[in-house]
Chains A and B, each alone.
Chain A
Amino acid sequence: MTTIQHISTGRRIKDRIVQGLVYLAFALAVVPLVSVLWLVISNGLARFDLTFLTHSMRGIGARDVGGGAYHAIIGTLEQVLLSSLISVPIGLLTAIYLVEYGNGGRLSRAISFFVDVMTGIPSVVAGLFVLAFWILFLGMPYSGFAGAMALSILMMPTVVRSAEEMLRLVPDDLREASYALGVAKWRTILKVVLPTAFTGIVTGVMLAVARVAGETAPLLLTVFFTDSINNDPFTGPQMGLPLYVFDQAARPNDTAIDRAWTGALTLILIVMLLNLVARLIAWWRSPARR
């Protein structure tokens, strides 16, 4: 090769070094994930048994073996369900407003902006708000419902954003075809737009649920602690699974730490399951597959 000169070694080495760094960054990011999952599974399996899933902590001290998270699992499921019932209608309607009615006006821009800002509200602040408003100002008791309200504040912006994205994906042609048949706008939304976007919206909701299911701080301030089963989310303290893990992890005894790991395993299973279902729905309906 006489006429084609090679690139300088310096440039080649720099290119290689950056490539190495980029690969390293990815490896570094994966290490904690693997480590967390490994520890949760290996430590959590020890107590992952029927007793754990079917018993509460009533009458069981930190040093005692046994005990379970039944009361916390029930609490979490109820709280998450309630918070979905609050946030999905409001979030979905807000998304419909933004996409179908807002027209980029001042109100819709304000809502859109504050929805974005709301996604950044620290979860503990959502808990403090419910504490300030519901419990201190209105004098209502600590309850699962109070926790659900705090969670729904965290859920709403996520639901709005994902639903909005899905609604915007619905082609205008479909809307216009419906209008051309003389169908009113609200029926078009209900019968054409929403069904088209349905699976996408469900995926978004599931991901939002998965996110709040693991939130601890808002519960800490609103549902209080209890070691007993409380099936009624509207009266009296109720436990939640993340709170259970926090509570057990903060105790110095190995028996409590073991319970914390198993609680963490249960929590991760619930969250990952929700994630997986959401992704499966998304994949199942993705255009690539059709």
Chain B
Amino acid sequence: MTTETETETREGGPATSRSASRRSHGEGPFRYLSTGAGIVMLGIMAAIAVFLISEAIPALQANKGNFLTELTWDPNSSQVFGIGALAFGTVLSSALALVIATPIAVGVALFISHYAPRRLAGPLGYLIDLLAAVPSVIYGLWGVAFLVPLLREPSQWLNDHLGWFPLFAGEGAIGGKTMLAGGIVLAIMILPIIAAISREVFLQVPKMNEEAALALGATRWEMIRMAVLPFGRPGVVSAAMLGLGRAMGETIAVALIFPATFGISLQILTPQGNSIAANIANGFGEAGDIGRGALIASGLVLFIITLLVNIAARMIINRRKELMKADT
């Protein structure tokens, strides 16, 4: 802070140094306001943790089951509830989304950065960004009204022919409101963020490295494999993790699609599944005091998981930034 004032006085020159130092009294409010705003941001993060914990505690104390392992969610009557099935569903659906979205997003990013005609790259990139602008409730509506019926036959086919594979197993009702439908909708929703970040890192690949590859007689794909992908890998990994965090926290679209069953099953073609976030949206309307506390407790778990995923992703990005600084 002192260096700041010194710089300013020097910049002002000797003639104005007195007035500058006098004016720096007037600087107080502005500097403190902006510092204060920054601290408020930190305070909000802390407050989120504190109040989620404090409002979750009474419900957790009233819980007759084990919160971490219990599969059922019945805080309102029997007061037995646990995060087990919900956490499993959250992880399964987001993992599914990630598996679907990442390869397509990397393809889209390569398309924009290295394949599309220069003139079209900008507008086409904007088209992908538009995917992110569609509100999640609309994806939910689209999923229920359009995607769920559409998936019924392919699901049946997968079940008939590849039913030995645990994910495609299951008997009776195949298709409908399934993990597959939810996973696809989540994939569409996280695709733009993964594509956007990957595109940025692909565009940052030094031209001279690409030219070095081309000058060795590499085809376009070989150049990408030699110069672009190795350089972009950490960026793509952290982009995928940010996408994972987003998929885990996504609420409304999956609240409309998941049939809110409580159980642990790998079968993504049968109508079952739930997630922490979807359960909060669907369970809130009928929740009493303990019910709300229980939902807050589950939100706390979600908060912690997404926080860890996001922090890990950010650390990968930041480490890479430092590496790049060291390089140049």
User: Is A in direct contact with B (CB under 8 Å) within the complex?
Assistant: yes
Binary per-residue interface labels of chain B (285-306) against chain A in the complex, 1 for a CB within 8 Å, 0 otherwise: 0000000100110010011001
**Contact indicator A101/B110 (Cβ below 8 Å):** no
**Cross-chain pairs A/B with CB under 8 angstroms, 29 sampled:** A7-B217, A14-B221, A22-B115, A25-B103, A26-B124, A29-B104, A30-B128, A90-B40, A93-B34, A93-B36, A93-B37, A107-B35, A110-B42, A111-B38, A111-B39, A119-B310, A122-B248, A122-B250, A124-B277, A129-B47, A132-B52, A132-B55, A153-B48, A157-B41, A185-B27, A217-B136, A246-B140, A272-B130, A275-B133
Given contacts A184-B26, A268-B134, contact A216 B55 (CB under 8 A): no
- Please pick, from B188, B217, B222, B255, the residue contacting A15 in the complex, using a CB distance under 8 A: B222
Contact check, A132 vs B314: say whether CB atoms are below 8 A apart: no
A96–B34 contact, CB under 8 A?
Answer: yes
Which of A35-43, A62-70, A227-235 is found at the contact surface with chain B?
A35-43
| A217: nearest chain-B partner, CB-CB | B251
Interface code B46-61, partner A: CB below 8 Å = 1, 0 otherwise?
0110011011100000
Asked whether, in the complex, the Cβ of B142 is within 8 Å of the Cβ of A39, the reply is yes
Which 10 A/B pairs are nearest by Cβ-Cβ distance? Answer: A122-B249, A25-B107, A214-B135, A93-B37, A179-B11, A120-B310, A182-B16, A184-B23, A97-B34, A132-B55
Cβ B137 vs Cβ A214 within 8 A: yes
B12: chain A residues within 8 A (beta carbon): 179-180, 182
Residues of B within 8 A of A242 (CB): 135, 137, 252
**Residues of A close to B4: CB separation below 8 A:** 101, 103, 185
Contact of A114 among B45, B55, B281, B284 (CB under 8 A): B45
Say whether A39 contacts B146, CB under 8 Å: yes
With A129-B48, A184-B24 given, is the CB distance from A120 to B139 under 8 Å?
A: no
**B31 touching A186 by the CB < 8 A rule?**
yes
**Residue B68 at the A interface, CB < 8 A?**
no
Contact flags A173-192 to B (C-beta < 8 A → 1, else 0): 00010011010111101100
- Interface size range of chain A in the complex: 35 or more
Selected contact of B256 from candidates A18, A249, A268, CB within 8 Å: A249
A128 contact from B19, B27, B52, B245, Cβ within 8 A? B52
Residues on A lying within 8 angstroms of B by beta carbon are 7, 11-12, 14-15, 18-19, 21-26, 28-30, 32-33, 35-36, 39-40, 43, 89-94, 96-98, 100-103, 107-108, 110-111, 113-126, 128-129, 131-133, 136-137, 153, 156-157, 160, 176, 179-180, 182, 184-187, 189-190, 210-211, 213-217, 220-221, 242-243, 245-246, 249-250, 257, 260-261, 264, 267-268, 271-272, 275, 279
B145 within 8 A of A: yes
Give Cα distance in the complex from A15 to B299, angstroms. 47
Question: Number of B residues whose C-beta is below 8 Å from A?
Answer: 101
A15-B219, A182-B13, A210-B133 known; A128+B141 contact, CB < 8 A: no
Report whether B41 and A132 are in contact in the complex, using a CB–CB cutoff of 8 Å: no
Using CB atoms, name the residue of chain B closest to A29: B108
Q: Could you tell me the distance in whole angstroms from the C-beta of B49 to the nearest C-beta in chain A?
A: 9
With a CB–CB cut-off of 8 A, which chain B residues contact A210? 133
A89 and B41 alpha carbons, distance in the complex (Å): 12
Complex Cα distance A113/B307, Å? Answer: 12
Flag if B220 contacts A19 (CB, 8 Å): yes
How many Å lie between the Cα of A187 and that of B30 in the bound state? 9
Would A264 and B314 count as touching, CB distance under 8 A?
no
Contacts A93-B37, A97-B35 supplied; 19 other A-B pairs, CB < 8 Å: A14-B221, A25-B103, A25-B108, A30-B127, A36-B139, A97-B38, A98-B38, A103-B3, A120-B246, A120-B306, A121-B48, A121-B249, A128-B295, A131-B55, A136-B292, A137-B55, A182-B19, A185-B27, A216-B251
B195 touches which one: A29, A35, A261 (CB < 8 A)?
A29
Q: Report A-chain residues with C-beta under 8 Å of the C-beta of B8.
A: 179, 184-185
